[in-house]
Chains A and B, each alone.
Chain A
Amino acid sequence: MDAGLKEVILAIITWNPDKVKGGGCPVFYAQDQKEMEKTALLLARILGGMVHDLENDVYIIVKH
């Protein structure tokens, strides 16, 4: 029941490609703010995680 990743970044969503560079985590680029929010919402629902805002056009999804 409790198996799975916790307290790790499951996905990064941004519409500013300069802010995020590679790494061990899937990055989703969006066209604009609106698409970013939509993608973040969907990913959060799918992954069962929570959307956090880094306040620099980057959202991350973390499972707690």
Chain B
Amino acid sequence: MDKYLIVIACGVVTGFLARWIMLRSDYRHYPTYPHGQLIHLALGFIAASLGAVAVPAIMKPDYTAVTFLVLAAQQFRDVRNMERENLTKLEETKLIRRGNDYIEGIARVFEARNYLVIFTAFITSLAVHWWGWPYAFAVGPICIFLSIKMMSGNQLGDIVEVVPAKVHFEGSLLMVEDVVIMNVGLPETRERILQEGMGVLIKPKNDDARLTLHAPGQRQAIIHDVVSILGSKVDTAEPDLMPLARKQVDQGYLGLFIVANEPDMEYLMKIIKKVPVLESTRGTTLESFYGRKAAD
């Protein structure tokens, strides 16, 4: 019994640690501190317990217990729904929205992380069961490291180039270089935009990237991330300075326009490069035969 206790304890601790390390609260304001985090730590603890208990259950062997564990693991599918509902509700009161694609991405990550915790706990317990508890210190960190490594997706900087661009007007049309952004009526607003507005071009490096930028969900994610760090001068009844990203339809690159509270071009470009490439919008044309043929 004591032997199993240490097996389970090692698994639970490693799994819980994995969840803790993977739990980040940063500029995305999600999950919130402290209650949002507590929910996920508690779920992570349950997931870790599930993974850890599986090993003694199989070794015993107690297959009824294993079946129940599989049933329990199903509960984590609800995590995604929970996150999605949560974020979609909050979206209604946001000035700059995340967009459904981003929310879906976040929700999926939360679900996936719980499964990673289960695997981490399971493998660590298995190692402890076979080789003894000191091996938890070797296998645990490796599992955690792999979980983090495998689950970190692409960033926009990998697939696009970001270059500063000139904001100017053609008549009443606001342009970022040759990309039409919107029609601005009032002369005062135009002047303000010329003084404080920042523009960048986001140029895709290949056809996959072009399709990624084509998705409005990805553009919304870029805008949301930029605004959540640099701020924007939009208010509920004053949409004039709304940050926007529009496509140059012939070439496929984006023009992004923003009037930020912190008008710092260098960091604007860095932030855009750090935006995650959303799973649901990622272009994969180059993986298809015709896509590759058409590209050249």
- Kindly identify, within residues 1 to 28 of chain A, every residue whose CB is under 8 Å from any CB belonging to chain B: 1-2
Contacts A40-B186, A41-B188, A55-B171 given; does A50 touch B92 at CB 8 Å: no
How many chain B residues touch the partner (CB < 8 A)? 17
| Partner of A53 from B92, B185, B188, B240 at Cβ < 8 Å | B185
A2 touches B92 (CB 8 A): yes
Q: Determine whether B187 belongs to the interface, using a CB cutoff of 8 Å to chain A.
A: yes
Rounded to whole angstroms, the CA-CA distance of A54 and B171 in the bound complex is 10
**Min C-beta distance of B57 to chain A, whole Å:** 49
| Partner of B237 from A1, A45, A52, A59 at Cβ < 8 Å | A45
Chain B residues contacting A1 (CB-CB under 8 Å) are 92-93
| Partner of A50 from B93, B171, B239 at Cβ < 8 Å | B239
B183 touches A52 (CB 8 A): yes
Across chains A and B, the number of contacting residue pairs, with CB separation under 8 Å, is 47
**Interface on chain A toward B: helix, strand, loop, or mixed SS?**
mixed
**Min C-beta distance of B97 to chain A, whole Å:** 11
Chain A interface size range: 20 to 34
Which B residue's beta carbon lies closest to that of A48?
B237
**Min C-beta distance of B219 to chain A, whole Å:** 15
What are some 11 contacts across the A-B interface (CB < 8 A)?
A45-B237, A46-B237, A48-B238, A51-B184, A51-B185, A51-B189, A51-B240, A53-B184, A54-B172, A55-B171, A55-B172
B contact set with A: CB distance below 8 Å: 92-93, 171-172, 183-189, 236-240, 242
List 18 other contacts, CB 8 Å, given A48-B236, A48-B237, A48-B239: A1-B92, A1-B93, A37-B186, A37-B187, A41-B186, A41-B188, A50-B239, A50-B242, A51-B186, A51-B189, A52-B172, A52-B185, A53-B171, A53-B184, A53-B185, A53-B186, A55-B172, A64-B242
